[in-house]
Amino acid sequence: MADVEQLQAIEQNLQNLRSQRQQVQMQLMETDSALEELDKSGKAYRIVGGIMVAVDKDSLRAELEKKKELLQVRSKTIEKQEGLLKERGKSLQAEFLKGMKKE
């Protein structure tokens, strides 16, 4: 019975990771969009406490590029975790099926 519980836990973890990956992908798309708009515009603004304030375009671009890089690393990390969990799940499932055949 422990195998079934472990498989269920792995499936739940996979669902959580998929949700996290989806959120990271959305943030990446938003960041890419912001970078594109920044290239098109002459001035850059940031919302601070409910008001828009002008900011240096180059520093904002650097900040967005760094954010994009961090999001890409996070996305790759989540993908690796998903892969490891999938492999563990396949292994447990094979063990479980093997045990069922013996009974």
Q: Could you give the domains of the chain?
A: 2-102 (1.10.287.370)
pLDDT at 1 over 60: no
**86/40 Cα distance (integer angstroms):** 42
CA-CA-CA-CA torsion sign (12, 13, 17, 23): positive
Q: Is 42 helix (H, G, I), strand (E, B) or coil?
A: coil
Contact between residue 97 and residue 3 where contact means Cβ atoms under 8 Å apart: no
**How do residues 18-43 score in pLDDT, each as one tens digit?**
999 999 999 999 999 999 999 998 89
Tens of pLDDT, residue by residue over 60-101, are 999 999 999 999 999 999 999 999 999 999 998 888 788 777
DSSP code of 43?
A: S
